[in-house]
Amino acid sequence: MNRQEVLDKVEGLRLVPVVKLDRVDDALPLCGALCEGGLPVAEITFRTAAAEESIRKVTAAYPDMFVGAGTVINVEQAKRAVDAGAKFLVSPGISRAVTEWALDQGITIFPGTCTPSEVMIALEYDLPVVKFFPAVQYGGLKTIKALAAPFPTIRFMPTGGINADNVKEYLAFDKIIACGGSWMVKDSLIKEGAFDKIRDLTAEAVALTK
């Protein structure tokens, strides 16, 4: 997928579940629950050793699901993620090495930013969308609106502290392309195998984005 196709997909979905998997065996039932709940997208984070194989299994089993890799902090992880089938990359901060590798490969990347200086680095690479992380801890919507004023060409994907109580407020601001969230895919629910609950929470989350 080219960058515009990825951005259109993200904007259409409005919400990107941020997934941490400790066990590869949980990947397929979890992503099945997301799809059944009406949200066929997952940012599978490289916080655990299960990430790479989970991405590989999910992209094979659910070819129409929009799967990306999160918490990508170095080029080696970026390569493994893309080789496994990730369609996009998300980083907690902005790394020139990772960003340049992604751009060279034609892979869409959403680097993490939370300051004007970091947004300016993203602009050096002509990136149209950045992650804003950790959103709530760095001032939330007020800070995003403040950053949007001097950088009118940039849009944001806030992640960190987004939940069912505040997601509508974030999505109402036109400079926000989508929100990243994990409240429907909580660690505890995954570990308990509560995939029906994840499906239901996902459906409720989707309803909030309409």
The one catalytic residue in 43, 57, 87, 175 is 43
Phi and psi, residue 165, nearest 5°: -80, -25
Beta bridge partners of 131: 112, 157
The one catalytic residue in 9, 87, 131, 175 is 131
Instruction: Write the DSSP assignment of 120-143 as a string of letters.
Output: HHHHHTT-SEEEETTTGGGTHHHH
Compute the distance between CA of residue 158 and CA of residue 178 in angstroms, rounded to an integer: 7
Cα Rg of the chain (Å, integer):
16
In the residue annotation, 131 being an active-site residue is answered as yes
Instruction: Encode burial over 191-202: b for 16+ CB neighbours within 10 A, e otherwise.
Output: eeeebeebbebb
In the residue annotation, 100 being an active-site residue is answered as no
* Sign of the Cα pseudo-torsion (117, 124, 176, 173, in order): positive
Residues with a known catalytic role: 43, 131
